[in-house]
Amino acid sequence: MLNRRTLMAAAAAAPLAAFFTRPAVAAEPYVFAVDGIAIRGADPVAYLSQGEPVQGSRDHALMWGGATWHFSSAANMELFMADPRAYAPQYGGYCAYAASQGYVASTVPEAWTIHEGKLYLNFSLGVRRRWARDIPGHIASGDANWPALLA
């Protein structure tokens, strides 16, 4: 027999039941990309060769790691093709500080660091300042957390 108390209890439990039965969230892609473009179109090789972010071109683009990478020149694209892991940002281009803290976050091309020949990106310039306080420690934590953060 349905009464008012039973209906009220069922109505109150519905949101809780929905929370526990929500569908599984898909894993994060291996490479952070906006509209399928890694590093928001910046040339990953230029960080190492020119010491600054340089916007790439659709004329020099390739797919790697599930994302499209843009390069400022054919020569940079060839360098990347020969050894992508030498030029691609660590932690799939997700925020290196976030990876060190146990989560993933987006990045901007302007918030970058080269440490021991590897490219690290951060969410913002402010986060990059926090990252810079202990780069070796953050890398150790990020390496321990990665790639399980994508699951």
Tell me the per-residue pLDDT of 104-129, one tens digit each, with 9 for 90 and over. 999 999 999 999 999 999 999 999 99
Q: 148, 91, 140: which is closest to 120 by C-alpha?
A: 91
Domain-wise residue ranges, the chain: 33-150
Residue 12 has pLDDT above 90, yes or no: no
Taking the model in full, what pTM does it have? Answer: 0.82
Quickly state the pLDDT bin for 27 (edges 50, 70, 90).
confident
**SS3 call for 105:** coil
On the CB side of 34, CA atoms within 13 Å amount to 10
Tell me the per-residue pLDDT of 32-89, one tens digit each, with 9 for 90 and over. 999 999 999 999 999 999 999 999 999 999 999 999 999 999 999 999 999 999 999 9
Please report where in the chains the tokens 């021991």 appear, as a residue.
116
Q: Dihedral angle at the C-alpha atoms of 49, 53, 54, 58, nearest 10 degrees?
A: 110
CB 37 within 8 A of CB 57: no
CB 69 within 8 A of CB 136: no
